[in-house]
Amino acid sequence: MLSDKTIEEVEALKRRYPDPRGAILPSLYIAQREFGWLSPEAFEAVSIVLGVPKAHLRGVASFYAMYRHKPVGRHLIQLCTNVSCMIFGAEDLVSLLKNRYGAEVGGTSPDGRFSLVIMECIGACEAAPAMLVNEDFHNNLTENNITEILEKYK
Amino acid sequence: MITITINNKEIRLERPVTVLEAAKANGIKIPHFCHHGILEQWGGCRMCLVEVEKMPRLQTACTLFVTDGMVVMTESETISNARRSVLEFILINHPLDCPVCDKAGECKLQDYVMQYGPTAGRFKEPKIRHPEGLNDPLIVRNQERCIMCTRCVRMCSGIQGASAIAVTNRGNHSSMEPFSGERFDCEYCGNCLTVCPVGAIMSRLHRYSYRSWQVTDEIQTVCPFCGVGCTMIAQVRDNALMRVVPKLGLGSNKGLLCNRGRFGYEYVGSGERLKNPLIKKNGKLQPASWEEALDTVASRLKDIKNSSGGNAIAGIAGARCTNEDNYAFQKLIRGLGSNNIDSIARMGFAGGQRIFEGMLGPGVTSTPLSGIADSDAVLVVGGDPSEVNPVLGVHIRMAFKKGAKVITIGHAPGLGRHRTAGLLPHPQADGVVMGGLISAILKDKKSLPGGNRPLEEKITVMHLPSADDAAAACKLSAEDIGRLAKQLAGASSVSIVVGREAGGNKDTAMLVSVLSYILNARIYLMSERPNEQGLVDMGCLPDMLPGGRPLAEEGLRKKCGASWGIDIPADEGLTLMEMIQAASSGGIKAMYVMGENPAFNLPDTKNTEEALRRLDFLVVQDIFMTETARMADVVLPALSWIEKDGTYTNAERKIQRLKKAISITGMEDWKIVAEVGKRIGLKMPYGKAADIMKEIARVSPLHAGLTYADIEGGDNLWPYKGEPHKNWFSFPELSADAFTSPAEEGLCLMLEKPLFHSGTLSRKSPALNSISPEAVLRLSPATASGLNLKDGDFAKVSTEKGSLSLKVKIDRGIDGPAAFVSNNFEGRGLFSLTGYRLDPVTKSPLTEGRQISIEKE
C-alpha cells in the first residue's frame, strides 16, 4: 500500500484535473518511486486512490517507455553510449559494470544493487561519458572514478 | 425532414443519424469493424469509408451525420481500393489461420477479405506473434488475430461498466489485455466476446466443437437464471446445445448477457442429470418405472388426503419451472383439497409486490427495464442488482454514466464505482434511513402530491423520524441524508430498485411504496429466479388463484373451481415457512416439491431438513439429485429449460416464450403433474404446453384470451389482454420498531449473492465452477486484518445455529463490519448458520442471528 504521505500527493494531483484520468501519468511516477517499479500492487494502490480501473492504468502505463515494468535494483544506472560517450570510452564502462558488479545491459546485478539501462544521449556530450544514477547526474566518467561514484550507492 | 441520396436512392429521415445507420435502415450494407449498434462511435477501423459529394476525401460513414441534400456512394473503385488497403494493413499481422479458427464462418474480416481482397500479401517481414492466452478457464484470447477495433474495451468500460480490459502496449504490439495480462479478473459477462468481430476473444466452452455453419437450429428462448429474463438464441447442432448467444436489439437485454446466462448452460448436459424415476425402498432410493412411480405418488397422496384431509398436503412450486408447469401444479394441489401452495417467491418477491400493489395500485412493478437508463435518479435498496440481476445492474450503470444520481442503501458492491452516494446503515436499519429520507424529501417538497388520499392519510400518521434523528440512530451524517433527499426530490424521473431483503420486510416495503409515491418513482423488483412473477400470476400462492384473484372472493373461487371440476377449499393455505413449521409439528404429512430445493434454499437449514424428514410422504420433481431429493420417497426426473416449451414471466411482468431446442426422453414438469392429476381423477387433458396456455387463458382473467402467437407477437406486457384485479387497497401497520436501529455492534453475517452462481443449477455448471469453485468467507481488508486473517486462510464461522469452516477471501468492495457467505455450495450454505422470524404480513422469513464469531483455523 502507499504511504499516507504518498496518498496525499496523489489526492492533490487528482484535485488538479476535472477528470481523475488526467492524473494517471504523474500518479504512476509517484507509485513507481514508492514501489520501485509498477508492480500489480502499485497499480492497485493508484487505482484505489484515483478511482480509475487498474486495467486502464496498466494500459496507459504500457504505452510509455520510461515506466519500469519489471523490478529493478536498488539503484538504476542510466548510462549513455551514444556517439560522444562512445568515443570517450562508454563501452568500456559497460564492460566494467558487467565484470565488477555483474550488471548486464537491461539487467540487474545478482546482489540487487544496480540495474543498468543504456540511454540514447542525455545531453551531456561536452563532458562525455555521462550517466544518471537514480536522479543524480554524473559526467566525465572514467574507469577509475565510476567505481568511486558507485561506492556511494549501497 | 432530411433528404439524402445513397447509391442513387433517395432516403428521407426524421432525425439526423449517421450515414452508416441511415444506409443500414434502408438495406444498404456498409462494411465496418469498430462500429457496433450498442457501442459509442469510434471511427477507428476505417472500413466504412464512403464517398460523399463535395467532400474532398473519403469519409467514415459511422461518424458522419447526414445533412440535408447529402449525396453518398458506398461502393466505387476508389472505395474498394481504400478498403482493400485497410484490409491489407490488418493482414500484416493477422494470421491466415482460418482453418483452425472457431470464428471462421462468422468472421467479419474473413467476409470482407473475400469481398475486397487482397488475395496475396506483399509483406516479407514476419508477423508479430502473440501466444494464445489459455490461462483463463472461460475466455480464450488470440491476440495475433486482434484487429484493434476496441469494441471489447468499449463494451467493457462503456456498457458493462466493469473496465476489466484495456488496450495494452503500443502500435503494432498493441493487444487487448485484462489487468493480469493473462487470467481475467472480471464479471465474466462475456459481452466482449459477443462484440469481437474476429476470433481474438472467444468462449472456451465450445472451442473446436463446431463451426457456425454446422448449426442445425437457432432457437430464440429466455435465459433460465434470473428474473430479468434475457432473450437468447440457443444454437443447436444435432440435438446438442452448442452455445447460447444474445442478439442485438432483442429483448430487454438488448444484446447483453451476464456470466450465468452465457456460460452457465452446460448443466443441461451434466452427467448427473436424473434419468429414471426413483422410489425409496428399504430406506434407499431405487430406480422404478414411470408407471410405478406415478401410481405410488397418486395413491399415497390420495391415502393421506383420505386419512388426514387435504390440509395435510402441501406443495412447493418451482421458480425455474414455466407458467404452464406451475399452473398445472397448483391445480393438482388444489385438486387434492389443499391451498397449501407456495414457493421461493415468498422470500421477498411475492410479499413485497403485494404491499406495493396494495399501497400504490395493481401492476405497479410492471416497469420496462429500459426506464432505468432513462432515469435521472436511481435508488437501490435491499440488495445488489449487479449481482442478483446483472443485466438490470448494467442498466443502472448506464444511467450513472448518463449523469443520473445513483444512491444505494445497504451493501451493493457491484455499484461501487457507479453511484453518487451509498448509505450503509446496520442491515436491519434500512427502515430508519428511509424514514429519514422521506421526511427530508417531504420537507423539501413542502406538500404531498395528492391523488392517493388513503395513502397520504397513512403517511401523516407514520411518525417518520426526522433526518437528524434517523442519522443519529444509524450513525450516519444528517447532511448526507439531507443532500440525498434533495437529489431525489429534484429529479424528474426516479427509479427505485428493490431487493429481496427490502421486499420481504413489510416495513421497508411500505416505506419504499411511500418513497415511490412522493417521488412519483417507478419500482423495479429484483427477482432471483426466472419465473417468480409467474408463480404469483399462476396462483402458486396460498391465498390467490390464477390471475391474481383472491381466494377469499367466493364468486371467483367457485367459478375457478367449476372450470377445474373441483371444490376449491375456502380457507387460505399455509405460506412457505409455515408449511415447514407444520411439517415439523405433524400438521403437514405429505409434500410435493417441484423444481425447488427447500432443504438447502430455505433458512435455518437444519430445522427445515428435520421438518422434511418428519413427512410421511415427500415427492421431489427435479432435474438433479438435490439435498431435498435425497430425502424423498419418490423422485421424478423432469426436463430442463431448453428441453421444453412454455412461458416465463419476468420481473417486468413480461411473458416470454421458452422454446424447446433439444429433445431428450423424459417428461416435462407439467406432464408429470398431469399424469399424477389424472390418477387422482383431475381433468388435465394436456397434450402440449400450448393446451395449458389455452386453459390459463380461459381461467385466469388476467391472461384472458392470451395465446402463444400474441406473446411472440409482442402482446406480452402486463396486463396482457386481460383485466387486472380491481385492487383492494391494503395498508398494513408499521411495526413499533420500524424506525429503530439495532443496538448491537460487531460483525454482522450477510448473505452474499454470488454473481457467478444462483444455486442448485449453477453449481452443476462446470464453467461457473471453474471461476467460482467453492464457498468463501468475504471480509473487508480492515475486518480481516483485525482478525489476523489473510487471503486463503481458513476460518471457522460460528453462530448460534452452527459453524462452518470457510476459506477467507478479502474483498475491497465490502465496507463496514460485515462478513459475507453465500448460500450456494452444498454443505456450505449461509442458511445453515442463520435463523429467521416471519414477517407478520409478507410472511417472508427475515434473517435472524447475524451475530457471528470468526476464528482462524
C-alpha span between A32 and A25 (Å, rounded): 11
CATH number of the CATH domain containing A49: 1.10.10
- Has residue B90 been placed in a domain? no
Tell me which DSSP letter residue B374 carries.
Answer: T
Place of cell 463494451: B155
pLDDT tens for each residue of B605-659: 999 999 999 999 999 999 999 999 999 999 999 999 999 999 999 999 999 999 9
| Contact assessment for residue B396 and residue B411, using Cβ atoms and an 8 Å cutoff | no
Yes or no, beta carbons of B812 and A48 under 8 Å apart: yes
| Contact assessment for residue B533 and residue B322, using Cβ atoms and an 8 Å cutoff | no
Asked if pLDDT for residue A33 goes beyond 90, the answer is no
- Has residue A67 been placed in a domain? no
CATH number of the CATH domain containing B782: 2.40.40.20
Q: Which residues in chain A are closer than 8 Å to B177, comparing Cβ atoms?
A: 55, 58-59
Least confident of B160-169, B429-438, B727-736: B727-736
- From the CA of B177, how many Å to the nearest CA of chain A? 8
Asked if pLDDT for residue A36 goes beyond 90, the answer is no
Residues contacting residue B708 through CB under 8 Å, at least 6 positions apart: B647, B657, B690, B693
Is A93 in the same domain as A43?
Answer: no
Grid coordinates representing A150? Answer: 558507485
Is A47 in the same domain as A111?
Answer: no
Is B564 in the same domain as B603?
Answer: yes
What is the chain A residue with the closest CA to B182? Answer: A55
Q: Which residues in chain B are closer than 8 Å to A58, comparing Cβ atoms?
A: 166, 168, 177, 179, 181
C-alpha span between B631 and B634 (Å, rounded): 9
- Has residue A133 been placed in a domain? yes
Is B249 in the same domain as B295?
Answer: no
Sign of CA dihedral B181, B183, B188, B189: positive
Predicted local distance difference test score (pLDDT) of residue B728:
67
Residues contacting residue B137 through CB under 8 Å, at least 6 positions apart: B204, B767, B770, B771
Is A83 in the same domain as A47?
Answer: no
Is B387 in the same domain as B292?
Answer: no
Is A95 in the same domain as A141?
Answer: yes
Is B520 in the same domain as B633?
Answer: no
Asked if pLDDT for residue B544 goes beyond 90, the answer is yes
- Has residue A82 been placed in a domain? yes
Rounded average pLDDT over B331-359: 94
What is the chain A residue with the closest CA to B171? Answer: A63
Q: Which residue did the predictor score with more confidence, B497 or B731?
A: B497
Is A147 in the same domain as A87?
Answer: yes
Predicted local distance difference test score (pLDDT) of residue B447:
85
3-state secondary structure of A145: helix
Of B168, B417, B812, the CB nearest to A59: B168
Q: What ipTM was predicted for this assembly?
A: 0.89
Yes or no, beta carbons of B179 and A58 under 8 Å apart: yes
C-alpha span between B17 and B244 (Å, rounded): 32
- From the CA of B589, how many Å to the nearest CA of chain A? 56
First and final CA of chain A: distance in angstroms?
25
pTM exceeding the 0.90 threshold for the entire prediction? yes
Interface residues on B facing A, Cβ-Cβ cutoff 8 A:
157, 163-170, 177-181, 417, 812
**Percent of chain B at pLDDT above 70?**
100
Is B783 in the same domain as B800?
Answer: yes
How many domains, chain B? 5
Rounded average pLDDT over B426-453: 89
Is B507 in the same domain as B544?
Answer: no
Asked if pLDDT for residue A132 goes beyond 80, the answer is yes
Of A48, A51, A58, the CB nearest to B168: A58
Grid coordinates representing B33? Answer: 469493424
- Has residue A32 been placed in a domain? yes
| Contact assessment for residue B538 and residue B696, using Cβ atoms and an 8 Å cutoff | yes
Asked if pLDDT for residue B74 goes beyond 90, the answer is yes
CATH number of the CATH domain containing A88: 3.40.30.10
Q: Which residues in chain A are closer than 8 Å to B163, comparing Cβ atoms?
A: 53, 55-56
- Has residue A144 been placed in a domain? yes
Mean pLDDT for chain B overall: 93
C-alpha span between B687 and B705 (Å, rounded): 19
How many domains, chain A? 2
pLDDT band at residue B743 under the 50/70/90 scheme: confident
Q: Which of A21, A37, A61 is the last residue of a domain?
A: A61
Q: Which residues in chain A are closer than 8 Å to B168, comparing Cβ atoms?
A: 58-59, 62
Backbone angles phi and psi of B11, in degrees to 5: -125, 130
DSSP letters for B802-820:
-EEEEEEEE-TT--SSEEE
- Has residue B100 been placed in a domain? no
**Which residues share a beta bridge with B813?**
none
3-state secondary structure of B220: strand
Predicted local distance difference test score (pLDDT) of residue B730:
81
- Has residue B356 been placed in a domain? yes
CA B510 vs CA B76, B454, B516, B537: distances in Å: 65, 13, 10, 22
DSSP letters for A75-117:
EEEEEE-SHHHHHTTHHHHHHHIIIII---BTSB-TTSSEEEE
Cβ of B727: how many Cβ atoms within 10 Å?
Answer: 15
Predicted local distance difference test score (pLDDT) of residue A24:
97
Grid coordinates representing B154? Answer: 468499449
Is B546 in the same domain as B677?
Answer: yes
Is B683 in the same domain as B775?
Answer: no
C-alpha span between B216 and B132 (Å, rounded): 29
Asked if pLDDT for residue B121 goes beyond 90, the answer is no
Q: Which residues in chain B are closer than 8 Å to A63, comparing Cβ atoms?
A: 169-170
**Which residues share a beta bridge with B809?**
B778
Comparing CA positions, the residue from B744, B620, B846, B645 lying closest to residue B222 is: B645
Q: Which residue did the predictor score with more confidence, B490 or B451?
A: B490
pLDDT tens for each residue of B295-338: 999 999 999 999 999 999 999 999 999 999 999 999 999 999 99
- Has residue A68 been placed in a domain? no
Q: Which residues in chain A are closer than 8 Å to B157, comparing Cβ atoms?
A: 53, 56
**Percent of chain A at pLDDT above 90?**
78
Predicted local distance difference test score (pLDDT) of residue B727:
63
Comparing CA positions, the residue from B313, B186, B263 lying closest to residue B764 is: B263
CATH number of the CATH domain containing B231: 3.30.70.20
Yes or no, beta carbons of A58 and B165 under 8 Å apart: no
Asked if pLDDT for residue B857 goes beyond 90, the answer is no
Is B256 in the same domain as B285?
Answer: no
Q: What is the CA radius of gyration of chain A?
A: 18
C-alpha span between B705 and B696 (Å, rounded): 9
Q: Which domain holds residue B564?
A: 278-305+312-336+540-712
| Contact assessment for residue B572 and residue B551, using Cβ atoms and an 8 Å cutoff | yes
Is B783 in the same domain as B667?
Answer: no
Is B463 in the same domain as B353?
Answer: yes
Is B383 in the same domain as B490?
Answer: yes
Q: Which residues in chain B are closer than 8 Å to A56, comparing Cβ atoms?
A: 157, 163, 166
Yes or no, beta carbons of A55 and B166 under 8 Å apart: yes
Rounded average pLDDT over A88-100: 94
Rounded average pLDDT over B695-717: 93
Of A48, A55, A63, the CB nearest to B179: A55
**Percent of chain B at pLDDT above 90?**
84
Predicted local distance difference test score (pLDDT) of residue B755:
87
Q: Which domain holds residue A12?
A: 4-61
Yes or no, beta carbons of B179 and A48 under 8 Å apart: no
Is A25 in the same domain as A49?
Answer: yes
| Contact assessment for residue B795 and residue B857, using Cβ atoms and an 8 Å cutoff | yes
Yes or no, beta carbons of B164 and A53 under 8 Å apart: yes
C-alpha span between B467 and B440 (Å, rounded): 6
- Has residue B84 been placed in a domain? no
- Has residue A70 been placed in a domain? no
Q: Which residues in chain A are closer than 8 Å to B170, comparing Cβ atoms?
A: 62-63
Q: Which of A14, A33, A61 is the last residue of a domain?
A: A61
CATH number of the CATH domain containing B322: 3.40.50.740
C-alpha span between A105 and A78 (Å, rounded): 10
